[in-house]
Amino acid sequence: MSEIKLPEGAPDEVITAAHVREIDLTLFGHNGSISLITLDNGMDHNRPNTFGPQSLASLNEAIKVAEASSSIAIAITGKPFIFAAGADLSALSFLNDREQALAIGKLGHDVFRRLGESSKPTFAFVNGLALGGGLEVALHCRYRTVATTAFTALPEVFLGLVPGWGGATILPKLIGPKNAVQVIILNALNNNTMMKSKEALALGVVDAVFEPADFIENSIKFAVAVLNGSMKIDRKDFTKDENEWTEAINTGKAAVAKKFGGAEIPQAIKALDLIAAARTNTLGAGFGAEDQELANLTMNDPLRASLYAFNLIQKKRKKVEGAPKPALARKVSKVGVVGAGLMASQLALIILRNLKVPVVITDLDQERIDKGLAYIRGELTKLVEKKRMSPESAARLSSLVSGSTDKSIFADASFVIEAIFEELELKQKLFKELEKIVSTECILATNTSSLSVTKMSEGLANPERVIGFHFFNPVAIMPLLEIARTPATDDATTATAVAIGKELKKTMVIVKDSPAFVVNRLLTRFMGEITDAIDEGTPPDVADSAMKPLGLPMTSLELLGLVGPGVALHVAETLHKSLGDRYRISPTMQAFVKEGVKTFYIKDDKGGLNPNPAALTLIKAGNKASTSDQVRIRALKALASEARLMLDEGVVSTAAEIDICMLLGCGWPLHLGGVLPYLDRTGISEEVSGQRFHPAGVASLS
């Protein structure tokens, strides 16, 4: 097997070795032995097995040894808790030669297909996580078992690739085109949803499911039953019904179009092409097509962008830039939440579930408090019904949450967060009131989305314990948490906030206290360009479709309906007051708020979105219409301009932190690799400010 040398600068491969041992089957009532190949990279379970060139070479040698042995069958499994997490992607962004990319794809096929073409029956004992190439090596085996605790997936489309080591060809033939589209396309587009063991069994991806405690033993018993004929696994021929394949492919195309608003997503379309071709392709022809598509995508910007974004997300989950030493964090034994509305109730619930400490909420009257408590306990009940929480755990958590109209219940709280109406004077008054009740070490946090945290702390005896703690809605789902330090905020307060954020499983960015922090400042700036274009005379449908080619999760006016014109106008007014005329106040938004119009779109009986007649009548358009392309370019230039100002002002310390905020706070598409790499690739960064945000080569081939 020819050696593939990784490009200069690529990180060293963590080699996953393949060890072979013979298991005597007489212990299981069958003559002979089975060659068991175990994948193990020698690291703990935090570093999953992966396949780079040297790892593939090790597996190839192990298969050779197994084939040459006297065993009657071959099986492959992984180290404890992990089967394999697929290809080692760390070197892909360093490739600059298509032939090298092609060789890596072919190498994987050459090794894996030996399992499918072996003269001996082959089994995959999927004892833990199996993603991408990890699932594909299992698919090359003739039979598969999986542990009940294992998760499996083909995430390649999510990352900018196609299943390129057999998945796009084998899986449709194995489980049918409809199920293959579900696993390869729909699951990937749904935030990379993974299959649980029972789902994998139901779809036909695996043949048996066993508990982890005696998984290998039961998997060997399963293999013996297959070998002695007492268990027969029937495989349906899915290739005959052409209409079924056409329908499945059309379902996939519709899902891609809906997810990305009509934007071109090359890896999704190529994956669908490979699935369609699998019906008539031989395995060899299918593998060859996979090689070609994998090489093409590896040498394109969408993959580099996806890898940059994916690696950035993983990095920022583990490390918070600028965070003080964790040892400075104070213990949190009780949390107070000021407010009992939906946002405050969501905050109380997530804190309750993760910190498992007493949580107390307050509001103006008992009716609101009772409503908030009912919401929290209702959500706990839903978790029990969905079997995501035991009744005992729900009952214990329910007993930890309480409410009162008297803020004195915060007297022994360690951390109090407010989520009241966005009005500075109200928040200032609240903090002065709280300061007289809580201890000097109790942290006072605000969930404000746009107001000055510094101004909230003015006049306090201990302004050093005030901090911004900005969540995104819905709180349980949105992964980003902006932590805003004022000039007075001390390290102990910040360290405690970061520690709480980690308990809440949030990805955090520490920001300088500044108007609207990162996400809302950028969103308001770019959405302002859309509404400005409408006010100038651009038809709403033209302006609103401007950003569709980027594949954002929703259009600007759809987002406006989600946020609410009142909130959007309030943030715009705050930024206009703080940052000047580049944040203009839209007469249309003012009219929406005045007349109580909540959304630009309304749903019809079929769930489609149509312009709201009440909204259309309020637009006072000028006579300066723009094209959709012109609106998009001006919006992107506004983003580039504002991001440069934010970096110059020190709102965040690096461009990567702006990228992570937009990826996780507003759903900037992963395949674009973050907003700033996209602006760099398109040349907008240099056009606006004369410089790139990132060095050449970040998230692109340039």
Tens of pLDDT, residues 231-265: 999 999 999 999 999 999 999 999 988 888 777 78
Residue 620: predicted pLDDT: 86
Q: Give residue-wise pLDDT tens across range 573-587.
A: 999 999 999 999 999
> What does the mean pLDDT of the chain come to?
94
Distance of CA 219 to the CA centre of its chain: 33
Cα–Cα dist 89/106, whole Å: 16
**Residue 408 burial by CB count (10 A; 0-12/13-18/19+): exposed, middle or buried?**
exposed
Residue that finishes a domain, picked among 650, 672, 688: 650
- Within its chain, how far is the Cα of 581 from the centroid? 35
**Number of domains present in the structure of the chain:** 3
Could you tell me the pLDDT band of residue 604, with boundaries at 50, 70 and 90? confident
CATH number at residue 453: 3.40.50.720
> Is residue 390 located within the same domain as residue 285?
no
Q: What are the φ/ψ torsions at residue 110 (nearest 5 degrees)? A: -60, -40
- Judged against a pLDDT cut of 60, whether residue 648 lies above it is answered with yes
- Read off the pLDDT of residues 659-679 as tens digits, 9 standing for 90 and up: 999 999 988 988 888 999 999
The conformation of residue 229, written as its DSSP 8-state character, comes to T
Query: Model's pTM, two decimal places?
Result: 0.88
Residues 264 and 116 in one domain: yes
Residues 264 and 381 in one domain: no
Lowest mean pLDDT among 3-7, 21-25, 222-226: 3-7
Question: Domain check: are 346 and 458 in the same one?
Answer: yes
The answer to whether residue 679 sits within a structural domain is no
Is 192 found in the same domain as 255?
Answer: yes
Residues 508-553 have pLDDT tens digits of 999 999 999 999 999 999 999 999 999 999 999 999 999 988 888 8
- Residue 292 structural domain: 17-299
Question: Quick one: 167 exposed, middle or buried, by C-beta within 10 A (0-12, 13-18, 19+)?
Answer: buried
In a domain, 374, yes or no: yes
Query: What are the b/e assignments for 464-499, b being 16+ CB within 10 Å?
Result: bbbbbbbbbeebeebbbbbbbbbebbbebbbbbbbb
**Closest alpha carbon to 470 in 430, 433, 418, 432:** 418
> Tens of pLDDT along 41-81?
998 777 899 999 999 999 999 999 999 999 999 999 999 98
Q: Which one of 650, 665, 681 terminates a domain?
A: 650
Tell me whether residue 663 is in a domain.
no
Q: Which residue has the tokens 């009440």?
A: 614
Q: Is position 45 within any domain?
A: yes
Q: Is the same domain home to 481 and 535?
A: no
Residues 124 and 272 occupy one common structural domain: yes
Query: Cβ distance 233 to 143 under 8 Å?
Result: yes
* Bridge partner residues of 285 (DSSP): none
Band of pLDDT at residue 3, cut at 50, 70 and 90: low
Residue 69: CATH number of its domain: 3.90.226.10
For residue 309, is it within any domain? no
Same domain, 400 and 426: yes
pLDDT (tens digit per residue) in 303-320: 889 889 988 998 898 899
pLDDT at 6 over 90: no
Is 107 found in the same domain as 36? Answer: yes
Query: How would you classify the pairing of strands 415-418 and 443-446?
Result: parallel
**Which positions ≥6 away from 316 have C-beta within 8 Å?**
507, 508, 509, 656, 657, 660
pLDDT tops 70 at residue 1: no
**Residue 508, burial from CB neighbour count under 10 angstroms (0-12, 13-18, 19+):** buried
The pLDDT score that the predictor gives to residue 12 is 85
pLDDT higher than 60, residue 5: yes
Q: Residue 569 is part of a domain; what is its CATH number?
A: 1.10.1040.50
- Same domain, yes or no: 489 and 555: no
Of the candidates 469, 510, 513, 482, the one whose C-alpha atom is nearest the C-alpha of residue 336 is 469
Residue predicted with more confidence, 159 or 123: 123
Predicted confidence (pLDDT) at residue 2 exceeds the cutoff of 80? no
pLDDT value at residue 238: 95
In a domain, 342, yes or no: yes
pLDDT digit string (tens) for 92-150? 877 888 998 899 999 999 999 999 999 999 999 999 999 999 999 999 999 999 999 99
Asked if residue 435 belongs to a domain, the reply is yes
pLDDT for 606 beyond 90: no
Do both 145 and 194 map to the same domain? yes
199 and 81 share a domain?
Answer: yes
pLDDT of residue 528: 95
CB 210 within 8 A of CB 202: no
Distances in Å between the Cα of 589 and the Cα atoms of 293, 534, 598, 644 are 47, 11, 10, 27
The verdict on residue 504 lying in a domain is yes
